[in-house]
Amino acid sequence: NAGVTQTPKFRVLKTGQSMTLLCAQDMNHEYMYWYRQDPGMGLRLIHYSVGEGTTAKGEVPDGYNVSRLKKQNFLLGLESAAPSQTSVYFCASSAFFSGKGNEQFFGPGTRLTVL
C-alpha cells in the first residue's frame, strides 16, 4: 500500500515549456487535490476532483489544467510554464467519509523550478 505517489520528484523547466505532474493513489479515494506550497503562504488549492471524470477550480487555478480519467490518477498540467509557477506541488486524496473528519493524505511533493 503505497498511499499517494507523485511523479516526478524534481523538475526544471524553461519559461514557455509544458509538463504534466502525475499523482496516483491506491486507497480508492473519491476526492483528489492539487496544492502548491510557497514560503510564507501555506498550501493553496489549485484544482480538485470529487470523482472520476470531474474536476473543479480551487483558489489559484490560472495557468494550470487537470484531468481525472481514472479514479486513482489525477494529472496536473502546465501548458506554458512561467517563473511564478516555481513552487513545491503536493497532491492529496481523501475518502468521502472517514473516521478523522476530512483527513487528506498527501504525496511527497514535486519541486518545480521554472527558469
Partner 1 sequence: GEDVEQSLFLSVREGDSSVINCTYTDSSSTYLYWYKQEPGAGLQLLTYIFSNMDMKQDQRLTVLLNKKDKHLSLRIADTQTGDSAIYFCAESPNILTGGGNKLTFGTGTQLKVEL
Residues near partner 1 (CB under 8 A) are 4, 31, 33, 35, 40-45, 48-50, 56, 58, 90, 92, 94, 96-97, 100-104, 106-109
Of 31 and 64, nearer to partner 1 (C-beta) is 31
- From 28, 15, 20, 8, select the one nearest 80 (Cα to Cα): 15
Of 27 and 82, nearer to partner 1 (C-beta) is 27
Of 4 and 13, nearer to partner 1 (C-beta) is 4
Copy the grid coordinates of residue 13. Answer: 523547466
Q: What is the closest distance, in whole angstroms, from the C-beta atom of residue 57 to partner 1 in the complex?
A: 11
State the Cα–Cα distance between residues 71 and 61, nearest whole angstrom.
21
Beta pairing partners, 102: none
Q: What is the closest distance, in whole angstroms, from the C-beta atom of residue 17 to partner 1 in the complex?
A: 25
Backbone angles phi, psi at 83, to 5 degrees: -55, -30
